[in-house]
Structure 1
Amino acid sequence: MFSKLEMLKKRYKEIEISFSNPDVMCDSKKIQILSKEYAKLNKIMLCFQSWNQCQKDIVDAKKMLFDSELRDSVVEILEEFYENRKILEEKLCFFLSLRNSKVKYGCFLEIRAASGGKEAALFANTLFRMYSRFSYIRGWKIEMLSNTCGEGGGYKEVVARISDKGSYDLLQFESGGHRVQRIPDTESQGRIHSSSCTVAVIPEIPCKLAKKIHLNDLRVDTFRSSGAGGQHVNTTDSAIRITHLPTGIVVECQDERSQHKNKAKALSMLSSKLYAKEKNRIKREESIKRKNLIGTGDRSDRIRTYNFPKKRITDHRLGLTLYCLEKIIEGKLETLIYPMIQKKKFG
């Protein structure tokens, strides 16, 4: 990994030098290409610089371990440096995996309340807010395509789209069962309840890769949109529900006023679901043959537990427990996402 980073560092410096070359500066097309490459390398190089500084700090701190008066303080400082280095290495692994990815997809995000009734619907709302905050921090646009509200608030089901390229690369391992342990507002005795939601992250497939859909295989229904959206949205049959008859896959879209726009988005979602279904079928067959995969990422698998009373979050795939639940709920998901990407892609 570090030999690759040194090569990128060399390329980064080459681009910097080329910006002072008059011949390059006169070529607007070349400047545009180099600027894009420089911007992509910039995040990696900043992270790599931080890693190198952390390495230097560790070496300098180790020199002070021989001082008996300072030893205890130095040991504590070194622990912080080691933890910081680990986080930076996880980020670097992630950046390199993104760079090596040939295709960067947007994605569809589906969150459904599972066991737990009203509390599960409220937890679905918490998860949707968490992913919305995560998207906002990255400057991604997240669109709610459809939702079904719970009786006591929250969502029985919510479907959203993040069209920004690379969003699927980051969120692909979020698919699975998410369990929550907390005291509901309706609980008078202070007892902790458990409920769960399922999350599915589906890549948004480009048209050239999408499976051809035959109109005869579709049943298209229109209905009145629900929820916020203005008077017009709630009083016209602009919402679209499409059923793919051969597979039974159903998709809905109700966020646009135009029926045609809703239909276009619903067809895009259907194409992605059919593509994902085919990929999962191939993956299952390969898994049976090899019998050594980490897991399927199936939605029925419980991947994470959120314990609110103890402010604890556990990722069962990583065997990782963190006591920073509030930060993660506010969208700071990197501490869970980066290690998972590293595990899946680098072993």
Structure 2
Amino acid sequence: MEMLPEAKLDTLLARHAALEAELLGQVNSDTYVRITRELSELTPVVDAVKAYRAATAEMSDIESLIADPQTDSDMRAMAESERPDLEARRDELAQHIRIALLPKDAMDERNVMLEIRAGTGGDEASLFAGDLFRMYERFAALQGWKVEVMSASEGTMGGFKEIVAELQGRGAFAKLKFESGVHRVQRVPDTETQGRIHTSAATVAVLPEAEDVDIDIKDSDLRIETMRAQGAGGQHVNKTESAIRITHIPTGIVVNMQDSRSQHKNRASAMNILRSRVYDAERQRVDAERSAERKGQVGSGDRSERIRTYNFPQGRVTDHRINLTLYKLPQVIAGEALGELVDALTTEHQAAQLAEQGNAA
């Protein structure tokens, strides 16, 4: 069995004890929040370390008992019968600790900018984009996250041609970062009179919300244009130039925003989305340079990569990256069973990280 880094475990235990001691003293509200947040992250792994060391000590006692020629035969038999369960528990705790010690993505705790766009399939693709948005919206509600729609362009028969929303909640990016890519649906549309199955697609992009400190966007790199809002809105749309188009000249990324009557609000929303897109583009570039082999694991996050198929006639959802099929499509599309896919993708990613560590050791 691969040994755990005992010195690192000692450091974790010492840090946990220091935080608990600090919490007993006089601390202001900001410090209290910081300490309790760090403790909530450390406590599960510290408990696992303590349980692992207790199991290791007990395992050592059992081994000594079995090896001792003075041990009574009944006592030895009892010790040998207990050994497999204790060994399994120790190994399980060790694996839990290894996963907890894996390097964390600095963005994991960030809010998410979720962008869904209808792809091939016309009206049916827009309807599917709407289904996907409601799936993530329901999943977010189950996590206790807040969802705020930033912009939306509705399809002619319902759903969305494009929708951008912010999902605010701790660990949102960690949960959803493997959802980026092309989602495909196979079903009989309501408008289909012959009962033929149609295939449509929608593209999902999950971007970590960028902060000002993450990326420096110079005013000189922006081209900002104002225009009159298009579409429904009564006489207002003809009176004010509240719509905003911002172009980031170095990357060519363009954001249009007209959902608010306030030009100021539209500009703020557009800049928020632009920051996330520019930052995500930079992350993608760095990740591609750093680790080409990562593309073969859970997925590169490439927007053109087909990652999942939702087959309505067969009631199944298949994630092509990990060859996982769930025959519970209604529960997945309702957001209730999406967590099973999310957890499986996370587990696969962790397994790949552990394998990389093992190869590097």
Shared fold by TM > 0.5?
yes
In the alignment, does 2:330 pair up with 1:326?
A: yes
In the alignment, does 2:204 pair up with 1:205?
A: no
| Alpha carbons 2:112, 2:208 under 8 Å: kept | yes
Q: CA deviation at 1:311?
A: 1.4
Q: CA deviation at 1:114?
A: 0.7
Aligned counterpart in structure 1 of residue 112 of structure 2, from 89, 104, 107:
107
Q: CA deviation at 1:118?
A: 0.6
Distance 1:91 1:327 in 2: 29
Aligned to 1:266: 270
| Alpha carbons 2:149, 2:164 under 8 Å: kept | yes
Give 1:157's aligned amino acid. E
Q: CA deviation at 1:204?
A: 1.4
| Alpha carbons 2:126, 2:155 under 8 Å: kept | yes
Distance 1:115 1:154 in 2: 14
Identity %: 41
Aligned to 2:180: 175
Task: Indicate the SS of the match to 1:100.
Answer: coil
Task: Indicate the SS of the match to 1:172.
Answer: helix
Aligned to 1:27: 26
Distance 1:128 1:14 in 2: 43
| Alpha carbons 2:242, 2:266 under 8 Å: kept | yes
Aligned counterpart in structure 2 of residue 150 of structure 1, from 150, 155, 159:
155
Q: CA deviation at 1:149?
A: 1.3
Give 1:175's aligned amino acid. S
Aligned to 1:195: 200
State the TM-score, normalizing by the size of structure 2.
0.69
Aligned to 1:224: 229
State the TM-score, normalizing by the size of structure 1.
0.72
Per-residue CA distance 1:14-40 (angstroms, 9 max, x = gap): 699x6xx9x965634476555334444
Aligned to 2:37: 36
Q: What root-mean-square deviation, in Å, do the aligned CA atoms of Structure 1 and Structure 2 show?
A: 4.0
Distance 1:277 1:305 in 2: 26
Aligned to 1:125: 130
Distance 2:11 2:306 in 1: 38
Q: CA deviation at 1:309?
A: 1.9
Q: CA deviation at 1:212?
A: 2.2
Q: Point out the more displaced range, 247-256 or 262-271.
A: 247-256
Larger Rg: 2
Per-residue CA distance 1:127-168 (angstroms, 9 max, x = gap): 011111111111212211111111111111111122434212
| Alpha carbons 1:90, 1:342 under 8 Å: kept | no
Distance 2:95 2:187 in 1: 30
Q: CA deviation at 1:193?
A: 1.2
Task: Indicate the SS of the match to 1:120.
Answer: helix
| Alpha carbons 2:210, 2:275 under 8 Å: kept | yes
Distance 1:200 1:93 in 2: 30
Query: Residues 239 and 163 (structure 1 numbering): CA distance in 2 closer, same or farther, change over 3 Å?
Result: farther
| Alpha carbons 1:15, 1:34 under 8 Å: kept | no
Q: Point out the more displaced range, 120-129 or 330-339.
A: 330-339
Q: Which runs of 5+ in 2 are unaligned?
A: 53-91, 353-361
Q: CA deviation at 1:324?
A: 1.4
Aligned to 2:357: none
In the alignment, does 2:239 pair up with 1:238?
A: no
Per-residue CA distance 1:217-237 (angstroms, 9 max, x = gap): 413233326579x99789754
Distance 2:25 2:235 in 1: 54
Q: CA deviation at 1:342?
A: 2.4
Task: Indicate the SS of the match to 2:142.
Answer: helix
Q: How does 1:69-108 map to 2 (within 5 A)?
A: 100-103=104-107, 104-108=109-113
In the alignment, does 2:303 pair up with 1:303?
A: no
Q: Which runs of 5+ in 1 are unaligned?
A: 53-85
Q: CA deviation at 1:90?
A: 11
Per-residue CA distance 1:170-189 (angstroms, 9 max, x = gap): 21111111000111111122
Query: Residues 319 and 244 (structure 1 numbering): CA distance in 2 closer, same or farther, change over 3 Å?
Result: same
Per-residue CA distance 1:185-215 (angstroms, 9 max, x = gap): 1112222111111111122111012132334
Distance 2:118 2:39 in 1: 43
Q: Point out the more displaced range, 139-148 or 100-109.
A: 100-109
Distance 2:42 2:231 in 1: 44
Give 1:207's aligned amino acid. D
| Alpha carbons 2:310, 2:316 under 8 Å: kept | yes
Aligned to 1:184: 189
Query: Residues 176 and 326 (structure 1 numbering): CA distance in 2 closer, same or farther, change over 3 Å?
Result: same
Task: Indicate the SS of the match to 1:128.
Answer: helix
Give 1:35's aligned amino acid. T
Count of aligned pairs between the two proteins = 303
| Alpha carbons 1:145, 1:252 under 8 Å: kept | no
